Amino acid sequence: MKVWLLLLLFLASSAFAQKYTVLVYHGANPPYSFKENDKVVGIFTDIFARLAQLTGHEFEFVATSVARGQRFFDSGQVDIEPGVSMQWRIQQKVPGIYTITYAKSVEILLGNNANTLEDVSQAYGSLVGRVRGYRYGAFESHFDEDKLIVYDNISEKELLGQLAYGRLDYVLIGKDTAHYYMANNPAYRHFKDAYIIETAKVAMRLQPHLTDLKEQLNTALTTMVNNQEIAAIYKKYTDYQH
């Protein structure tokens, strides 16, 4: 009897289990998703591995560029975009629906042995590195020849190398990304979070028709947040105090 009951439970759960595609950005996007020994790893991989356990669903990563990824979402070719704020995608053709927020995205000015800034004007006259093409909204009012002098480069990795060599005074960068590199490169451990530019709560963005999945993910994410599982995953990749 027990065997039949277990079989029925398995068949029932299998009937409701689905496969969903998850958008990640190819190349190095640490600590969220990146390749290690030809395998995609990172915060998103760990979160969705746990979500798979809690929901019974399978999640397949689709790696592409940011621009192409947004086209994929608009055309329905991917189901989920993780780690985004609703405000970032409000102008998209398909804004999507959102789960509960489960973490924060913090943009900072990272300095080389810099003191914490009470006001960004204290850094005026400094050379600040920025990834080419990245936008910073209202904060860009501080960019000018007599304010923050902006130098563009192709990636955070390149900018951090220039910061280490003293060629830049600050770098505009995500806090999690900065702390990931600091955790993995002892030469960067003296960098300091000098100023918080923006803090945004992030969620999972879903295709509008995935209302049932939204509720399932909300339940699972609530469990993970309450059990400190999300915090532990972020700490795994960004804790440089060890």
- Give tens-digit pLDDT for 50-67: 999 999 999 999 988 888
Q: How far from each other are the two terminal CA atoms of the chain, in whole angstroms?
A: 52
pLDDT value of position 160: 97
Instruction: Identify the band that residue 9 occupies on the pLDDT scale cut at 50, 70 and 90.
Output: very low
pLDDT value of position 12: 45
Query: How many angstroms separate the CA atoms of 78 and 70, rounded?
Result: 9
User: CB count, 10 Å around CB of 36?
Assistant: 10
Q: Do the beta carbons of residue 47 and residue 233 sit within 8 Å?
A: yes
Number of H helices, E strands in the chain: 7, 11
pLDDT at 221 over 60: yes
Instruction: Identify the band that residue 27 occupies on the pLDDT scale cut at 50, 70 and 90.
Output: low
Is-cis flag, bond preceding 31, omega within 30? yes
Distances 68 to 64, 89, 150, 184 between C-alpha atoms, Å: 6, 14, 27, 30
| Segment 115-134 mean pLDDT | 94
Query: Which CATH fold would you assign to the domain 2-104+200-238?
Result: D-Maltodextrin-Binding Protein; domain 2 (3.40.190)
Query: Which CATH fold would you assign to the domain 106-199?
Result: D-Maltodextrin-Binding Protein; domain 2 (3.40.190)
Model pTM? 0.88
- The partner residues of 109 in beta bridges, in order of sequence, read 172, 195
Q: Do the beta carbons of residue 30 and residue 237 sit within 8 Å?
A: yes
Per-domain residue ranges for the chain?
Answer: 2-104+200-238, 106-199
pLDDT at 129 over 50: yes
Are domains 2-104+200-238 and 106-199 of this chain identical in fold? yes
Alpha helix segments (H runs only) across 93-210: 156-164, 175-184
Query: How many angstroms separate the CA atoms of 156 and 130, rounded?
Result: 8
